[in-house]
Structure 1
Amino acid sequence: MSRLGHKIKAGLLQVHSILGLVLALLLCLIALTGAIMSFEDEIVDHLNAGIMQVAPRTTPALMPDELVTRLKAGVDVGKVAAMTLSSDPSAAVHVRFARDEQGARPSSLYVDPYDAHVLGVPRGEEFFATVRRLHRWLLIPGDAKGWGRQITGIAALGLIVMLVSGLVLRWPRRAGHVKMWLKPNLGLSGRGLHRSLHAVIGTWVLPIYLVMTLTGLWYSFDWYKDGVVWLLSRPQVSAAKMQPKQPRAAGRPEPVQAVGFDRAWSTLLREEGGHFSRALLTLPGGPGTVLRIRSWGKETTLDTTRDEFRIDAVTGQIVSADRYAEKTLGEKIIANLLDIHRGAVLGWPGKLAFMMAAALMPLFAITGVLLYLSRRKLRRPAQPALGRLVPGE
């Protein structure tokens, strides 16, 4: 290797080591919380299997507004913000509530769709909500509007630099070294073993870490999101998504009009018919009458593969319809970013592989610190033994 090549590699090693030391704990926290959430859906469904199903009846299920009225008459609940309805006559209705005046969100409820009887509070919901906030925003106040969002994004950018620099440092000089490049030498000990584990296993998980970071940046930086939308979406879709929101007129608050679910629900039933398996209806968070409805088809296996509608709750008119089948390949990639981020697009084997890769992050932190300390020790000049010193030394 040339002298310039040695200098470049030495510089990359310094960058790789410094970033690793600075970001080690933060990356471990983000990775381990992500690993915990890998099979969240399966765990929550298992924990709540007894309250998610009801016995089908011959009588029709209640309309959403009637269900909310009966629910409020039976128990003291807060303002209903959203509910998940299903085409399955044996599926319970999942009701979610808006935040109270203190900013806390009451626990959701599973409700019998035929008589609004409360079946129970879902177990595991609060735990995974806390883990999710820790993973995305580090529990920093403000959640998505706080500094935690930018900090996790900076950590992701740092990890990308570490991955690229680590790949360059590991690149084999000859093709014959590839086998050694991908096979850890477990017969070594000390520094040699640490280096082998850090480098070889890091090479195995490098593609997964790149996918995780490149998709995770979507949730941290608006400039990154806008760039991805511009790159992968059709021009008209890109322009619509990047259109800034119009500010409200100062001193002229919009009147708050009470809205319900029924008209929008009836419109969705008319439009989707028997093609959907479940639908999430979300009331507007502020002034306005337009509901957001996410609808999943019966053949859908991914949470992000869904249609999305905006329907006026007063008139029942469709304001917009964003159907998954009509998206381009790039727009489908954007729609599935979350499932790509966690490996769900590859089914449960993909989720398992991504979970294991995330769980291995502490290995790289520990071996990286040990390699750094041993490297400093090797660079330290040897001290002469005291017993061999002579006068004047």
Structure 2
Amino acid sequence: MSRLGRAIKAGLLQVHSIAGLVLALLLALIALTGAIISFEDEIVDHLNAGIMEVAPRTAPALMPDELVARLKATQDVGKVAAVTLSSDPSAAVHVRFARDDQGGRPASLYVDPYDARVLGTPRGEEFFAIVRRLHRWLLIPGDAKGWGRQITGVAAFGLVVMLVSGLVLRWPHRASSVKMWLKPNLGLSGRGLHRSLHAVIGTWVLPIYLVMTLTGLWYSFDWYKDGVVWLLSRPQVAVARMQPKVPRAAAAREPAEAAGFDRAWSTFLHDEGSRFSRALLTLPAGPATVIRIRSWGKDSTRDTVRDEFRIDAVTGQVVSAELYADKTLGEKIIANVFDIHRGAILGWPGKLVFMLAAALMPLFAVTGILLYLSRRKLRRPAQPPLGRLVPGE
């Protein structure tokens, strides 16, 4: 290798080591919490199977406004923020609540769609909510509006730097040898074993970590998100997505008529009929009257494959309709960012592989620190034993 090549590798090693030492524990925390929530939906559904279904009846299900009114008449609950309704007559209604004055969010409820009887509070919901906040925002106050969002984004950038520099540093002399790339030498011990595990297993998971970080940045930086939207969307869609949100002061000047679910729900049922399997109806946070309805078709296998409607709760007019089938390839990639991030785009095997890769992150933190310490030890000049020193030396 030339002197320039050795100098470049030495510099990359310094960058790789410093980034790893600074971010090792943080990346391990983010990765482990991500692994924990990989199968959140499946775990929560299993834990709550007994309260998510009811015996179907011949009587029609309650309209959402009547269901909410009956629920409030019998339960001391906060302001309802969203309800999930289903075309399946045996499915319970999932009711979610808005944050209270202290910023806390009451636990959601499963409710009988025929008489608004409370079936129970979903188990595991609070645990996964805390782990998700730790994964995304490190439990720093402010959640998505706090500093945690930027810190995790910086950590993701640091991981990209380590992945690229690590790949260059371990590039073997025989680059075409599959064995050199993919087979760890478990017969070694000490520093040699640590280096083999760090480099070879790092090669295994490198593509997965790149996908995780490049999609994770979507949730950390608005400029990154806007850039991806501009790159992958049609111009008119990109402009609409990047429009700034209406300030609260401006929203306060909108009509103050309380928004209910029924009129928007009736419009949705008239337009969609029985094509949907479930629909999430979300009330506006302020005094606005436009309700967002996300609907999943009966053949949908992923949470991100959905249509989205915005319907005025007062007039029943459809304000906008965003159909998944009408999206371009780039727009479908944008819609599936979350499923790409966690490997769900490949089904449960993909989620399992991504979960295992995330769970391996502490291995790189530990072996990386051990390699750094052993390298420091090797560089330390050897001291002669004190017993061999003679006067004058």
For 2:220, give the aligned amino acid.
S
**Aligned in 2, Cα 1:72/1:156: closer, same or farther, shift over 3 Å?**
same
**Aligned in 2, Cα 1:310/1:63: closer, same or farther, shift over 3 Å?**
same
Give SS of 1:205's match: helix
**2:160 match:** 160
For 2:341, give the aligned amino acid.
H
| TM-superposed deviation, 1:175 | 3.6
For 1:319, give the aligned amino acid.
V
1:81-120 aligned within 5 A: 81-120=81-120
> Is the Cα–Cα contact under 8 Å of residues 21 and 369 in structure 1 kept in the other structure?
yes
> Is the Cα–Cα contact under 8 Å of residues 191 and 371 in structure 1 kept in the other structure?
yes
> Is the Cα–Cα contact under 8 Å of residues 251 and 287 in structure 2 kept in the other structure?
no
1:99-178 aligned within 5 A: 99-178=99-178
**1:203 match:** 203
1:214-293 aligned within 5 A: 214-247=214-247, 253-293=253-293
| TM-superposed deviation, 1:245 | 3.0
Give SS of 2:119's match: strand
Structure-2 separation of matches of 1:251 and 1:276: 31
Q: Deviations over 1:99-131 (max 9, x none)?
A: 111111111000000000000000000000011
> Is the Cα–Cα contact under 8 Å of residues 137 and 149 in structure 2 kept in the other structure?
yes
Structure-2 separation of matches of 1:322 and 1:29: 36
For 2:56, give the aligned amino acid.
P
> Is the Cα–Cα contact under 8 Å of residues 81 and 283 in structure 1 kept in the other structure?
yes
Deviates more, 1:246-255 or 1:37-46: 246-255
Structure-2 separation of matches of 1:249 and 1:176: 62
Structure-1 separation of matches of 2:26 and 2:32: 10
**2:183 match:** 183
> Is the Cα–Cα contact under 8 Å of residues 81 and 282 in structure 1 kept in the other structure?
yes
Structure-2 separation of matches of 1:83 and 1:322: 20
For 1:286, give the aligned amino acid.
G
Structure-2 separation of matches of 1:382 and 1:123: 60
For 1:86, give the aligned amino acid.
S
> Is the Cα–Cα contact under 8 Å of residues 37 and 128 in structure 2 kept in the other structure?
yes
**2:357 match:** 357
Structure-1 separation of matches of 2:269 and 2:68: 19
Give SS of 1:32's match: helix
TM-score (norm 1): 0.98
**2:392 match:** 392
Structure-2 separation of matches of 1:233 and 1:188: 50
Give SS of 2:49's match: coil
**2:37 match:** 37
> Is the Cα–Cα contact under 8 Å of residues 258 and 287 in structure 2 kept in the other structure?
no
Give SS of 1:50's match: helix
> Is the Cα–Cα contact under 8 Å of residues 153 and 221 in structure 1 kept in the other structure?
yes
**Aligned in 2, Cα 1:385/1:260: closer, same or farther, shift over 3 Å?**
same
Q: Deviations over 1:72-101 (max 9, x none)?
A: 111111111100000000000000011111
**Aligned in 2, Cα 1:176/1:100: closer, same or farther, shift over 3 Å?**
closer
Structure-2 separation of matches of 1:285 and 1:229: 25
**2:375 match:** 375
Structure-1 separation of matches of 2:42 and 2:248: 42
Provide structure 1 residue ranges, at least 5 long, that are not aligned to the other structure: none
Structure-1 separation of matches of 2:378 and 2:83: 62
> Is the Cα–Cα contact under 8 Å of residues 172 and 180 in structure 2 kept in the other structure?
no
For 1:208, give the aligned amino acid.
I
For 1:358, give the aligned amino acid.
A
Structure-1 separation of matches of 2:6 and 2:306: 51
Structure-2 separation of matches of 1:113 and 1:130: 29
Give SS of 1:73's match: helix
> Is the Cα–Cα contact under 8 Å of residues 172 and 178 in structure 1 kept in the other structure?
no
Equivalent residue pairs, number: 393
Structure-2 separation of matches of 1:252 and 1:209: 43
Give SS of 1:296's match: strand
**Aligned in 2, Cα 1:338/1:369: closer, same or farther, shift over 3 Å?**
same
> Is the Cα–Cα contact under 8 Å of residues 291 and 312 in structure 2 kept in the other structure?
yes
**Aligned in 2, Cα 1:150/1:275: closer, same or farther, shift over 3 Å?**
same
**Aligned in 2, Cα 1:55/1:250: closer, same or farther, shift over 3 Å?**
closer
| TM-superposed deviation, 1:282 | 0.2
For 1:82, give the aligned amino acid.
A
**1:15 match:** 15
Give SS of 2:51's match: coil
Structure-1 separation of matches of 2:271 and 2:34: 37
For 2:141, give the aligned amino acid.
P
Structure-1 separation of matches of 2:254 and 2:242: 24
Structure-2 separation of matches of 1:55 and 1:247: 45
Structure 1 vs Structure 2: percent identity of aligned residues? 85
Structure-2 separation of matches of 1:262 and 1:250: 26
TM-score (norm 2): 0.98
Structure-2 separation of matches of 1:250 and 1:64: 29
For 1:366, give the aligned amino acid.
V
